[in-house]
Amino acid sequence: MPTLTAVKKNKFDVLSVRAKFPALHQQVNGHPLVYFDNAATSQKPEEVIDALSHFYKNDNANIHRGIHTLAERATAEYEKTRKAVQSFIYAGEPEEIIFTSGTTGSINLVVQTYGRKFLKEDDEVIISAMEHHSNIVPWQMICEEKGAKLKVIPVTKRGELILEEYKKLLSSKTKIVSIVYVSNTLGTINPVKEIIDMAHHAGAKVLVDAAQAIIHIPINVQDLDCDFLAFSGHKVYGPSGTGVLYGKRELLEAMPPWQGGGEMIKEVTFEKTTYNELPYKFEAGTPNIADVVTMKYAIDFVEGLDREAVAAHEHHLLQKTMEGLAEIEGIRLIGTAKHKTGVASFISDRIHHFDMGMMLDARGIAIRTGHHCTEPLMNVLGIEGTNRASFAVYNTEEEVDYFLGTVREIVQKKKK
């Protein structure tokens, strides 16, 4: 792999950002690491790593119920993250921010509270054919329990939703539309604002899965007018085991608690329990305190970037990769939507995707292989799985060149 050189494009100095991520500066199988598995999880900058260490060294205590100094410090830091998330996604108030274990936990919270209370027999829930399993299986479970019906927006072979078909699915029976903002498999950016408007016109509520969008696209939940929005901390340079559910206050107030225990209660007797106010009604037990505290530093890192310049940088990497892969004989691109971000999926007519992934790993390149928890989408597209390269703020043109050259070399050797 060529030595990295200082490159400035679109006022974005990728190398100065890259220097903040210690995990990137290592050898894998005798080669400099090229980390193209960012759709699975992002690497962490030093300020996030240091913040986690600082908390455990100095402020570690349980939160909200303690009156000693460490408990008060830990509580203050924890609630700073809530306000940071509120500002990050432009929520109306911090009470609309619920901390969870991740996007999956956030979606399940909505399913098990809003879905369980409000869905009835013959009601309908709409998802799309490109959803992650975590936005399929929970809805299947509650629909089966309630006798509701799950309907699916079809996709084109390019990986774009067919909005005309979505419009036909909407009716007075539609109660919930749960839609992914950016496909983790295809990189397709869905027109969520239009989808939300159409759903609201039909009287339905909308949950947006922003797990992949949050790292690439600035999000304003009030502008989108979504009813719920879910994302994970580990996809936005933060720690794993952290997630966010945004919900409009009036909906969160109407939803019953999901889990019972400490923190989510006001008063408990053997006869009756009264529940706490938002957001604590949905945060039972001791939370993942240190990692939630640390998530603020990831958000601060992102907000300290020129996001327009970052988007231009990442789009350039994506375009260069897609064009380069298309030129390699025997490679087929999967997901060629007009509006894409962050993800280049492909297959080879000569090499199984698992084998391709292992051969790239042998040269220090980390990609993802398989169905990417979108097995129904693979069935729609008529394939078993793909090779997925996904990009983040710290990836470089030199890495893309090395990746493309390595794929070409692997394919040519197989041809011989």
Q: Where are the domains of the chain?
A: 8-45+306-415, 50-303
Q: Is the pLDDT of residue 220 over 60?
A: yes
Q: What integer pLDDT is reported at residue 11 of this predicted model? A: 63
Task: Burial-class residue 177 by CB neighbours within 10 Å (0-12, 13-18, 19+).
Answer: buried
Q: How many other C-beta atoms lie within 10 A of the C-beta of residue 321?
A: 25
- The 10s digit of each residue's pLDDT in 98-127 is 999 999 999 999 999 999 999 999 999 999
- In angstroms, rounded to a whole number, what is the distance separating the alpha carbons of residues 61 and 129? 44
Residue 176: Cβ within 10 Å count: 27
User: For a pLDDT cut of 90, what percent of the chain falls above it?
Assistant: 89
Tell whether domain 50-303 is in CATH 3.40.640.10. Answer: yes
Would you state the pLDDT for residue 416?
Answer: 60
- Asked whether the beta carbons of 100 and 287 are under 8 A apart, the reply is no
CA dist list (Å): 400 to 116, 279, 403, 406: 46, 43, 5, 10
pLDDT band at 3 (very low <50, low <70, confident <90, very high): very low
Q: In the prediction, which pLDDT does 261 show?
A: 79
Q: What is the rounded average pLDDT for all residues in the chain? A: 94
Strand pairing partners for 9?
Answer: 12
Residue showing tokens 């410090």: 73
Average pLDDT over residues 364-383: 95
pTM for the whole thing? 0.94
> Does the annotation count 226 as an active-site position?
no
Q: What is the pLDDT of residue 35?
A: 98
- CA-to-CA dists, residue 51 to 47, 59, 65, angstroms: 6, 11, 23
Q: Provide mean pLDDT across the span 41-49.
A: 98
Q: What is the pLDDT of residues 160-194, one digit of tens each?
A: 999 999 999 999 999 999 999 999 999 999 999 99
pLDDT digits (tens, 9 = 90+) for 58-87: 999 999 988 999 999 999 999 999 999 999
Closest CA to 133 of 113, 108, 114: 108
**Identified catalytic residue from 373, 378, 380, 383:** 373
Domain 8-45+306-415: which CATH class? alpha beta
Distances (CA, A) of 339 to 50, 59, 194, 216, 400: 36, 44, 14, 13, 20
Looking at the chain, the whole-number percentage of residues with pLDDT higher than 70 is: 97
Banded model confidence at residue 1, pLDDT cuts 50, 70, 90? very low
User: Which pLDDT belongs to residue 284?
Assistant: 87
Whether the pLDDT of residue 239 is over 50: the answer is yes
Q: What CA–CA distances, in Å, run from 299 to 144, 213, 247?
A: 38, 14, 19
Dmax (CA) for the chain in angstroms is 77
pLDDT at 209 exceeding the cut of 60: yes
Q: How confident is the model at residue 231 (pLDDT cuts 50, 70, 90)?
A: very high
389 Rama sector, left if φ>0, alpha if ψ -120 to 50, beta otherwise: beta
Alpha carbon distance 219, 386 (integer Å): 28
Q: What is the pLDDT of residues 256-315, one digit of tens each?
A: 998 887 787 778 778 888 878 899 999 988 999 999 999 999 999 999 999 999 999 999
Residue 158 has pLDDT above 80, yes or no: yes
**What pLDDT, on the 0 to 100 scale, is given for residue 259?**
84
- Asked if 406 and 166 count as a contact pair (C-beta separation under 8 A), the reply is no
* Fold match flag (8-45+306-415 vs 50-303): no
According to DSSP, residue 42 is labeled -
